[in-house]
Amino acid sequence: MVATERTTVRLVCAECGTEYPTDVPRYRCDCGGLLTVEQPIAALRGTVSRELFDARLASRARLDRSGVWRFRELLGDYSEAEIVTKPEGRGNLYDDPRLTAWAGVGELWLKHEGENPTGSFKDRGMTTGMTHARRLGARTVACASSGNTSASLASYAAGAGLAALTFVPEGKVSSAKVAQTIAYGAKVVQIRGDFDAAMRLVQEVAEVPEYGVYLLNSINPFRLEGQKTIVLDAIQALDWRTPDVIILPGGNLGNTAAFGKALEEALALGLIDQMPQIVTVQAAGAAPFARAYAAGFAPGSYQPVEAHTVATAIQIGAPVSYPRARRVIQNTEGIVTAVSDAAILAAKAQIDRVGIGCEPASAATLAGLRALVAAGTIPAGASVLAILTGHLLKDAEVVAAYHQPDPHGERPGANPPITIDPTLDAVRSLLDSLER
């Protein structure tokens, strides 16, 4: 007997396997488990190939120009008319010998997801999430956010003509992210509480059918489908050479989950021929995942924390995608680690100083990489793909604070602005003092 190959997308509980319809809003199984979108991978064998995706790089067609929808066969069965795209997913892949040497590895590639339309990787998940929201006929979309999801949701909702609400922790989001959100027309709802309180509230809101609010946090499995394309796009840019290590920051852990899913699917489809090691880096003040990893994921080793870090994008104490991310780390022999705020800021200064730039959370990758190489956990000859998740301008407050005058040399590379009289003499003595 030959089993017929499944050709449709399924929505399945990752814990108990219960299947739910894809055309009804739902975020969790009745058992409490998170849901996974299962693509018909077996049926896609023979349809998708490196050559298909490479050919699209030369195309000017709207969907081909998106670094997300270029991989559309792996994202579901949306028609072109349904798809809400900017397009997104066109960030650069950088390599800079100074950063490679600073990290201490053989090769280091930095995929800049901060070069997305709203300045963070969230646009990759938002294009698929918003497309699904439209398919469901949603009129209002919402998220809890430490800022970047909020900005992205606001922009894509505006594009799709939907009302948008973003629940953010009052006083804990950078002014640039709030500015983007209000400018794009979403209603910013500031919560007296932290991100985790906002996340709890928005999940409760989404559970009340009469409110008609569709949730677009990364608990939403359709968002993760778009975020899968970060690694596909980067590996394609490396001419399909799989790096030894892929390293990324971890907050709510949606990306860690999405990366594992992308790589498993790519392996099953023959797009890559080996599984890289996935390394997730948290901020030490927001590291429940790193702590559980250090305890071998023993029962009871995962405990939510009250999160405190300068990297507000990953200031999350109860990551929603924890069970998904744990499975990825276990299945790929991955690593989870944590770095101090001082280490994050020092790594950020390196990335900024070579002219690439990123927001603090993104720099956790380079800080974590350097520490793991120094500890011998990652070999010095490794080839590494690091994900820069957000743009430098997302958090100008942190930059200004870092680059204040630094008489005691506490902040490497601190570069405060100076003030002079408008005279040539003043400029000459300035030039004499420059290192050049």
Ligand X SMILES: *Cc1c(COP(=O)(O)O)cnc(C)c1O
Applying CB under 6 A, the residues found at the interface with ligand X are 120, 122, 148, 218, 249-255, 313-314, 359, 361-362, 389-390
- The answer to whether residues 241 and 211 touch, using CB atoms and an 8 Å cutoff, is no
Which of 73, 422, 4, 81 minimizes the C-alpha distance to 225?
Answer: 73
If the CB atoms of residues 65 and 261 are measured against ligand X, the closer one turns out to be: 261
Nearest approach, Cβ of 283 to ligand X (angstroms)? 10
Question: According to CB under 5 A, which one of 10, 12, 15, 241 is a site residue for Zn ion?
Answer: 15
Amino acid, single-letter form, for residue 416: P
**What are 121's two structure tokens?**
């990787």
Do the beta carbons of residue 231 and residue 82 sit within 8 Å? Answer: no
392 touches Zn ion (CB under 5 A): no
Instruction: Measure the CA angle with vertex 116, ends 345 and 156; round to 5°.
Output: 120
314 binds, among ligand X, Zn ion, none (CB under 5 to 8 A by kind): ligand X
Q: Rounded to the nearest whole angstrom, what is the least distance from the CB of residue 326 to Zn ion in the complex?
A: 16
Exposed/middle/buried for 75, CB within 10 Å: 0-12, 13-18, 19+? buried
Considering only 7, 19, 31, 52, the residue that binds Zn ion (CB under 5 A) is 31
Least distance between ligand X and beta carbon 357 (Å)? 12
- Residue 314 or 367: the one with the smaller Cβ distance to ligand X is 314
* Residue with smaller CB distance to ligand X, 56 or 282: 282
- Shortest CB 380 distance to ligand X, Å: 26
Contact (CB, 8 A) for 151 and 184: yes
Nearest alpha carbon to residue 109 among 120, 101, 100: 100
Contacts with Zn ion by CB under 5 A: the residue count is 7
Closest approach of ligand X to the CB of residue 208, in Å: 25
**Beta bridge mates, 35:** 13
Residue 13: name its binding partner from ligand X, Zn ion, none (Cβ under 5 to 8 Å by kind).
Zn ion
Binding partner of residue 16 among ligand X, Zn ion, none, CB cut-off 5 to 8 Å per kind: Zn ion
In the complex, what is the shortest distance from the CB of residue 390 to ligand X, in angstroms, rounded to a whole number? 3
The residue length of the chain stands at: 436
Q: Closer to ligand X at the Cβ: 269 or 387? A: 387
Ranges of H-type helices in 211-338:
221-227, 229-237, 254-268, 288-294, 322-331
Could you say which of ligand X, Zn ion, none residue 254 binds, taking C-beta under 5 to 8 angstroms by partner kind? Answer: ligand X
- Looking at the Cβ atoms of 226 and 251, the one nearer to ligand X is 251
CA 71 – CA 226 distance, rounded (Å) = 9
281 binding Zn ion? (CB under 5 A): no
One residue of 11, 22, 29, 39 binding Zn ion per CB under 5 A: 29
Min dist CB 252 to Zn ion, Å, is 20
Min dist. Cβ of residue 277 to Zn ion (A): 29
Contacting residues for 379 by C-beta, under 8 A, at least 6 apart:
244, 373
CB 314 within 8 A of CB 286: yes
Task: Determine the residue with CB nearest ligand X.
Answer: 390
Q: Closer to ligand X by CB, 76 or 288: give it.
A: 288
Beta pairing, strands 35-38 & 10-13: antiparallel
User: 10: Cβ–Cβ under 8 A, 6 or more apart, which residues?
Assistant: 19, 22, 37, 38
Our finding on whether 193 is near Zn ion (CB under 5 A) is: no
Of the residues 10, 20, 25, 33, which one makes contact with Zn ion according to CB under 5 A: 33
> Cβ closer to Zn ion: 15 or 244?
15
User: Residue 77: helix, strand or coil by DSSP?
Assistant: coil
What are the tokens at 33? Answer: 């488990």
Residue placing its CB nearer to ligand X in the complex, 49 or 277: 277
Interface residue with Zn ion, options 11, 13, 68, 378 (CB under 5 A): 13
The listed partner (ligand X, Zn ion, none) that binds 215, CB under 5 to 8 Å by sort, is: none
Whole-number Å distance between alpha carbons of 38 and 11: 6
Contact partner, 29, from ligand X, Zn ion, none, Cβ < 5-8 Å per class? Zn ion
Q: Is residue 117 a contact partner of residue 123, using CB atoms and an 8 Å limit?
A: yes
38 binds Zn ion (CB under 5 A): no
- Among residues 118 and 321, whose Cβ is nearest to Zn ion? 321
CB atoms within 10 A of CB 70: 27
Given ligand X, Zn ion, none, residue 119, with its beta carbon under 5 to 8 Å by kind, binds none
CA angle 418, 395, 113 (to 5 degrees): 120
Summarize as ranges the residues that interact with Zn ion (CB under 5 A).
13, 15-16, 18, 29, 31, 33
